[in-house]
Structures are given as structure tokens and as C-alpha cells.
Structure 1
Amino acid sequence: MSDHAAPATGAILVTGANGFVGRALVEHLLTSQPRPVIAAVRQADADLPPKASRRVAPALGPTAQWASALKGVECVVHAAARVHVMQDAVADPLQAFRQVNTAGTLALATQAAQAGVRRFVFISSIKVNGEQTLPGQAFTADQPPQPVDPYGVSKHEAEQGLLQVARETGMEVVIVRPVLVYGPGVGANVASMMRWLARGVPLPLGAIDNRRSLVSLANLVDFVALCVEHPCAANQVFLVSDGEDLSTTGLLRRMSRALGRRALLIPIPPACLALMARVLGKTPVAQRLLGSLQVDIEKNKQRLGWQPAVPVDVALQATARHFLELQRR
């Protein structure tokens, strides 16, 4: 057992607290934790859950000063980041990601350790492991990382730096690498899929037999909250998913049911789709739709006793309800 197994009393600071994951995490911690939860946000008027305390935080970067935000804090959950984008407009994407996700994270962690923070939970990315797996050959938390794109590289470098800070200072570090997150309020590719399905757009995605791990927002924040407290999470890396892998075709069908629609999926052979994507310069998009990316969460079960609490269909229904409510406004 850890020396820190006794119940903690200091505050939990959540960075990126008005983001998709951060806001849900603050809401979850407010209902599951007896100790104070502080939302670190860039603007004082940021939209937050009503009971959340707030502190204005600096922009993530190597020179950011966190002393005032860290007062009385025992655990930091770092969800703020420069997020992955499909078409980055900056001249040097790797440098831009490193400035925020690597140098900014390590500046915060170093100052947290100096301020006496006990534990630092880092929301990383499955992109640290790599971009795809062979069907049935899932990524594990402890295999050598193979990041490919600038975002994944910046997150991996941040992880390495955090583990070094842990060794030098004694502050506990927990690294959580989620797969694709979905849930009420999700944007990007998942929101686009729901729009297509809700409008009854025929999609040439009816014959894809890949396997992809996903994680609902509810399951992710439940796991992160466990990592805040569990003594056996200290200085460990975890992958997190719903524990059920879906094909792209299967996901679209189940999403359609959640939306109360009939999916119009045309069974085009994946090889033809890959060729068309290559001709159109959309190979990365095709890789996500056609390729596999699976993760093994056995470590979470064995080490922390965690099981995903929310089934995929229940999470998809919650996602669809929120989407349809927004469409009616």
C-alpha cells in the first residue's frame, strides 16, 4: 500500500475545466468527492457546473505561473491541451504542440510538485501508443510507445517528462490514455456521423469489418476519478475504453438506433473505399474509418478493480438524446 492510502482532504484542481472532458469530470467529482473541486479556466466567466469553485489559470506554456491556482491543492487533473486537429494551419505543428502539451504540462507539474501537490493525473492520448492495430492485437498500457503525428509525439514527451518529475520530487503521476471519446456534447467526427445519420444520408460504409475501441464520457470520467484516489494508480499508465470494440459499420447501425433512424449503409468493399480516399487525398480519414485500433484494459481491472459501468448502447442513447435536443432548438 502507498503511504498516501489515507483519505485525502486537499482540493482537486481540474485544468481545461470548461472543455468537453473537463466539464464532465468536474461534474462527476462534485458528486463523488467530499473534498473541494476547483475548476481552472482561462476566463472568469467560463460556463461551469453551478457548484464548482473556479480559479483563473494562465495559458499553458513554458513560462506560465500557477502559484495562485495551486494554493491548497492536493491533486491536479490536467485535462487542458492543444488538441489534435485534422488540418493544422500553423507552420510548425510539432513545435506548437510541444509548446503547450509538453513544455506547458511540465511547467505546471514542476510547480505543482513545489507547491506540495500529492498526485498529478495527466489526460494523455491513445495516439502515444500509435495510430492503428491489427484486429485482435490490442495496444497495452506497458508496451513501447510509437506515436506518429505531432500531437501524439507531444503527449508522449509530456509523459516522459512527468515520470521524470515524479522520480525527482516524489509527486505521484498517473497517466491516462483515452481512445476516441463520445458522449453528450461531442463534436468533430462523431457529431458529423450523427448529422449524416439523422438526415438519412446514404453512406458507403456498410461492409467494414474492422475493430475500434471507444470510450464514453461517463466511463472516462469515472475512471479518471478513480485514478485521483486509488493508491495502486500511482506512477502508472492506463488505457481506457468501454471494453467493447465495434466495427465502423456496427457503430453506425447502433448510433442510428439511438437516434431513432434507419441507417442507409451501402456495402462498398473497403479496398475500393481506400483507393478512392487515396485518389482524393483523404487517406488519414480512410484509416480511421477502415482501420482497427483496439486497447486492452485488463490492467485497469486487475490493478484498480475497475470495470466500465455504462454499456455502449446506453452511452450512445445519451449522446443521441443530447444531439437531438440541440437540433430541435
Structure 2
Amino acid sequence: MKFIVTGSTGFVGQNLKTFLEDKGEEVCNLSLRNSNWHENIPESGTAIIHLAGKAHDTSNSSNLDEYYKINRDLTIRLFQKFLLTEIRDFFYFSSVKAVADTVSGELIEDVIGEPFTPYGKSKIEAEQFLLTQSLPEGKRLFIIRPCMIHGPGNKGNLNLLYKVVEKGIPWPLASFHNQRSFLSVDNLCYLIYQIVINKNISSGVYNFADDEYLSTNELVKEIAKILGKKEKLWSISSLLIKSMVKIGDVLPLPLNSERLKKLTESYVVSNHKIKTALGIEKLPLTAKEGLQKTILSFKKF
């Protein structure tokens, strides 16, 4: 099979490329940074996996127009080109944040999208365009909404949390009680491959998440366990913390309101739909196994 991957130099792209090549599949890198990218798309292939995009900037310093130019307009142009080829499948990597900045209960696919950030709005507008298009016979469209993706080589909030525990700094946000879904990059790659090889899977929107969810406090304990340290959890008033981080909204401090939200909010995502479509009960890695693999990788740096 032949896979055309955009964003192949990013964290997910590199992992997916390795995963597919280990399966003996052909992977073609498609850079959308080149003005003539449309001339480099193969006329035939198994799937375009569109990973390239502008990520959410928690420092809120990005040009807002860039979100729409990259996440929406570029996706539309790529999809229109896809329709003119003999490539069978088109995967658009959106985000759970395209439909909900906050979640009450468990997030499912048919929720009405109400994003508040330019990132979320640009993603949902791309989704809305794709879902209104007619697909020629034999072609499939998959809109993938992953939750927080992690794995070896990832430098996100998990790495920040790791450094806090590694340095013996007490975790000051223990008063925030939450439940969060995560997505191991290994489980992500597995799901993509299973969709491609299963020709009976219907086009549609699918959430990607690990089977279980954990709290941030549980994560701190898990990191401490792997490091052979005793966890230090401080339960400082959540109201006081929320007031203090507002300073970071103005000054370039490590913690601002947006980062606090990412670290402490509850955000549970259902993966029931994709598992039902594939006829599987469990993903290869549990949430804890995936997180342990990621955390252990931080020790090498």
C-alpha cells in the first residue's frame, strides 16, 4: 500500500512513518510548505493522511489568520486535489478541541461543535467543508479527532510535569480533581492502519483516545514511581491558584490561565465508535502502559 503523509516531520508524522514502514508499506512525504506541493501528489495510492496543521499556541502569541489559512484553507485545497486522483482514502486530523474546549461528562462524535479558540474554529470549519462534499464511488473520508497525543520524543505538558517531579518540586495543583483522556501515539498508529486495511469501515468522524482515563494527580504519582521518588502533592486553594496565574497572561511566565486549564481540566473522550467499527474490545496499550513508555523516554534526555 502507498501512504501520502503531510506533516511527516512532526512528532506524529515521524512515528506514523516508522510504524508504516515497519509494516512494509510505502510512505511518501508531502510537504505543503512548498508552493508547488499540488504538483507532487501521486495520482494513485491508498491514503492521504493529512497531519500538517498549525497547533494550538498556549502563549496566545500567534497570528490568528494563520490558523484559518493553514488548518482550513490548506485542508480544503488538499482535499479538492485528492478528489481528482485515484487515491482511495483521505484522513483529516482534526482535534477534539474542534468541537469542545471543555467537556461535561464524556465527549462523543455527534456533539454540536462550539469551539472558542481560533485553533478550534479553524479545525471545525475545515470539518464542515469536508462533510458537505460528495465522495466519488470507492473513496472514503475520515475525520479524526484525537485527544492529547503523547509518546517518546513528545515535548508537551507531560514533559513539563516530568521535570517538576524530577527536580523534587512539589506539585502545587493537587486541589484540582480531574479526569483526562490521553492517546498513545502507538495506539494512534494502530487505529489508522486498522481503518485502512478494513475496507468495510464507513466514512465519518471518529474520536481517538486510549481506553482509560487518569487524573493529573495520578500522573504525578506515576512519574514519581518511575523515578523512584516519593510524590509531593500540595493542595493549595484552587481559587488562589487561578488568581495568581492571571499574571502569566500578561507576563511571559511558565504558567498562565491557558496552561493551567490544560493541566487541570477534566476532559474525557469516548473511543467507543471507532472500536465498535473495527470490532475490537481493547487497544494495544492501556493508558498507563502508554504513559509509562512516554515517561521512561524522558529519562534518556
Is 1:128 equivalent to 2:98 in the alignment? Answer: yes
Q: Deviations over 1:186-234 (max 9, x none)?
A: 1132211111111111221223321111111111111122222323433
Q: Deviations over 1:53-76 (max 9, x none)?
A: xxxx3317xx75423232432310
Contact 1:176 1:224 in 2 (8 A): no
Contact 2:174 2:236 in 1 (8 A): yes
Contact 2:101 2:115 in 1 (8 A): yes
| 2:252 corresponding residue in structure 1 | none
Is 1:253 equivalent to 2:221 in the alignment? Answer: yes
| 1:6 corresponding residue in structure 2 | none
Q: For 1:317, which of 265, 280, 292 is the aligned residue?
A: 292
1:196-275 matched pairs, under 5 angstroms: 196-275=164-243
Contact 1:218 1:310 in 2 (8 A): yes
**Residue identity matched to 1:231:** K
| 1:51 corresponding residue in structure 2 | none
Work out the CA distance in 1 between the residues paired with 2:95 and 2:211.
Answer: 17
Work out the CA distance in 2 between the residues paired with 1:290 and 1:18.
Answer: 30
Question: For residues 186 and 146 of structure 1, do their structure 2 counterparts lie closer, same or farther at Cα, with a shift above 3 Å needed?
Answer: same
Question: For residues 280 and 20 of structure 1, do their structure 2 counterparts lie closer, same or farther at Cα, with a shift above 3 Å needed?
Answer: closer
1:121 Cα offset (Å):
0.9
Q: For 1:12, which of 3, 18, 42 is the aligned residue?
A: 3
Question: For residues 209 and 113 of structure 1, do their structure 2 counterparts lie closer, same or farther at Cα, with a shift above 3 Å needed?
Answer: same
1:39 Cα offset (Å):
2.7
Contact 1:17 1:26 in 2 (8 A): yes
Segments of 4+ moved more than 6 angstroms: none
SS at match of 2:214: coil
Question: For residues 313 and 64 of structure 1, do their structure 2 counterparts lie closer, same or farther at Cα, with a shift above 3 Å needed?
Answer: same
Consecutive unaligned residues of structure 1, counting only runs of 5 or more, are 1-8, 41-56
Q: TM-score, normalised by structure 1?
A: 0.82
Is 1:74 equivalent to 2:65 in the alignment? Answer: no
SS at match of 2:158: helix
SS at match of 1:251: helix
Q: Deviations over 1:233-260 (max 9, x none)?
A: 3321111111211111112211222333
Work out the CA distance in 2 between the residues paired with 1:270 and 1:246.
Answer: 19
Q: Deviations over 1:252-300 (max 9, x none)?
A: 2112223333322212233332233346543222222332111111112
Is 1:304 equivalent to 2:273 in the alignment? Answer: no
Q: Deviations over 1:72-101 (max 9, x none)?
A: 3231011111111112434x41x2111111
| 1:49 corresponding residue in structure 2 | none
**Residue identity matched to 1:173:** L
1:139 Cα offset (Å):
0.8
1:174 Cα offset (Å):
0.3
Which stretch shifts more, 205-214 or 64-73?
64-73
SS at match of 1:237: strand
**Residue identity matched to 1:241:** A
Q: For 2:141, which of 173, 191, 194 is the aligned residue?
A: 173
Question: For residues 229 and 163 of structure 1, do their structure 2 counterparts lie closer, same or farther at Cα, with a shift above 3 Å needed?
Answer: farther
Contact 1:129 1:139 in 2 (8 A): no
Contact 1:182 1:215 in 2 (8 A): yes
Tell me the C-alpha RMSD between the 2 structures: 2.0
| 1:30 corresponding residue in structure 2 | 21
Q: TM-score, normalised by structure 2?
A: 0.89
Aligned residues: 293
| 2:253 corresponding residue in structure 1 | none
| 1:83 corresponding residue in structure 2 | 55
**Residue identity matched to 1:213:** S
Is 1:117 equivalent to 2:87 in the alignment? Answer: yes
